[in-house]
Chain A
């Protein structure tokens, strides 16, 4: 920023940055490139940045759009794969959790921040103490509980542990509601609003930023979920994308894995979050300023 002496240094810094970006992005490029390569070519065509004979067959076969014979001819195992269905399941799973959890945690966060009632601080402390409990610890008993309830292999069983709350979301939203100006609230009371009216008409609209932030991060985490959906969502009908990828990998145990199919499926698992990043990139980036340091 000052003087000419910094110029070579800055150039070097940009080069370092560029190297880091290439290392970050290149694996994704290679994933898509492989997904567009015919299975028969992966032994011979592995030098160029683009495939020699680009094809969409890997996508159509993992989406379940080809016949089994066609899929097998294109290098698949012939097992039925339906990533369109798994993607849909993942979208339902994420949307349910993000929407419902955000609403409920906002309600609780608001109550802990703005309402006055006996025992408030104690109840809040108890809820926040759950931050100390690692997921693996509640996972085993929750699994048995969901099994006893007869909710195995159902969407209800899959979303059950997280749809109502996470301690972090309550903590995060309470922090925000604490900073709402008091006079707006008092004006609303004078207008005849009760707590629900203030929450719905004033607090929520004023908190769009933090609500979107927590909703987005919840969506991302839900999209990445693996262990719980693996345990509870075992059936084909409610399998999520992440679980399906693991199953797909295991379907070709003895020979070389079906790399072109796997990379097509992997690409599909990235696409929705990529769309999210393109449209909400700025929000997501800003959300780190929120959650990171405060």
Chain B
């Protein structure tokens, strides 16, 4: 502010930015434009793409499989986000009121570190109809066996449950980090007034955590819409099409049937949904920043 003439780092700045701008242009900007172009062509990796107008979109909107995949994804998002957020909120509050142990937090983070493919395999084994640990356990209680991955009604809740197991610890730690920012004296004051744990949770934790909670919810939703690995390993969209989520639909259209134009059109529809969610997320990020200033 006090310097005599404004500094201009123009030359240095472009060198600093060069790698990132190349990466952005080549692997984000250009492919995004290509994606839009493919969505209005009949490209299938063998022919040269030719313009077909809105044909892919009209076909897509008439495609029962596409709508089914949207519904299946929505069902997954509801199941997964619902259970994961509620559980994580519970775990985070417990931790907040009990301990600050780093070892405990690191333990809860473990499933998040593990590839989804490994998690898929692990649970396929645990939930195996004949030999799996869970069905053996059910057997000792005189229940089952349940075909967790092979039964049409069970498949989606199973996949949602697996990912809830995998991500609840991570989500809980995010919420816990938010709770640590709540001033301790509020709890001390409430305790003096004789408030119980439940009242403190409803009256202090929940309202003050709302911005963080909302942000975490949106971020997990963006992630949930993009479920792929777990399904690719375990159910492959089946049984019938009970777990045929939108990501798997796009993947199959592109790399199994080579309908690249069609897949690109479906990807744009998903991108629109995620774009709205991301815009909400960015606004929240900005909002939380101004709170701190």
Contacts and interface: CB of A to CB of B under 8 A. Distances in A.
Contact of A24 (B111, B133, B229): B111
Interface stretch (A53-61, A69-77, A204-212, A280-288): A280-288
B125 A31 contact: yes
A71 B23 CA distance: 44
Contact of A284 (B103, B106, B274): B106
Given A13-B98, A14-B98, A294-B288, A142 B31 contact: yes
Nearest to A124: B17
B274 A134 contact: yes
A220 to B, nearest CB: 6
Contacts of B232: 226-227, 230, 246
Given A131-B278, A165-B24, A226-B229, A21 B98 contact: no
A263 interface: yes
B292 A294 contact: yes
Interface in B167-194: 169-170, 173-174, 177-178, 180-181, 191
A99 interface: no
B2 to A, nearest CB: 10
B107 interface: yes
A110 B45 CA distance: 40
A145 B292 CA distance: 43
13 contacts: A1-B191, A20-B108, A28-B122, A31-B125, A46-B136, A130-B29, A164-B24, A224-B114, A273-B113, A276-B113, A282-B102, A288-B174, A293-B212
A277 B274 contact: no
A140 B9 contact: no
Interface stretch (B57-65, B71-79, B149-157, B248-256): B248-256
Given A107-B20, A127-B21, 10 more contacts: A27-B122, A30-B122, A134-B275, A137-B31, A141-B35, A164-B24, A257-B124, A270-B118, A274-B113, A281-B103
Interface string A1-40: 1100010011001101100110111011011001000000
A231 B260 CA distance: 14
Interface in A257-282: 257, 259, 262-263, 266, 269-270, 273-274, 276-277, 281-282
Interface in B111-158: 111-118, 121-126, 128, 131, 133, 136
B10 A118 contact: yes
Given A116-B7, A134-B274, A21 B181 contact: no
Contacts of B102: 281-282, 285
Contacts of B268: 137
B32 to A, nearest CB: 5
A86 B210 CA distance: 43
A20 B91 CA distance: 8
A224 B116 contact: yes
Given A137-B268, A246-B232, A288-B173, A9 B180 contact: no
B191 A2 contact: yes
Interface of B: 6-10, 12-14, 16-17, 19-24, 26-32, 34-35, 38, 45, 90-91, 94-95, 97-98, 102-118, 121-126, 128, 131, 133, 136, 165, 169-170, 173-174, 177-178, 180-181, 191, 197, 212, 215-216, 226, 228-229, 232-233, 247, 250-251, 254-255, 260, 263-264, 267-268, 270-271, 274-275, 278-279, 282, 288-289, 292
Contacts of B282: 128, 131
Contact of B28 (A160, A167, A230): A167
A249 interface: yes
Contacts of A2: 191
A281 B102 CA distance: 8
A141 B31 contact: yes
A282 B118 CA distance: 24
A130 B181 contact: no
Contacts of B118: 242, 245, 266, 269-270
Interface in A131-145: 131-138, 140-142, 144-145
Nearest to A90: B115
Contacts of A17: 91, 94-95, 98, 104
Contacts of A43: 131
A42 interface: yes
B16 A137 contact: no
A273 B177 CA distance: 22
A188 interface: no
A93 interface: no
Nearest to A160: B27
B27 A127 contact: no
B106 A277 contact: yes
A285 B12 contact: no
Nearest to B2: A186
Given A108-B16, A246-B232, A140 B267 contact: yes
Contact of B32 (A110, A133, A225, A274): A133
Given A132-B278, A136-B247, A165 B20 contact: yes
Interface in A58-117: 104-105, 107-108, 110-112, 115-117
Contacts of B97: 1, 13
A289 interface: yes
Nearest to A276: B113
Interface string A181-201: 000000000000011100100
A137 B278 CA distance: 14
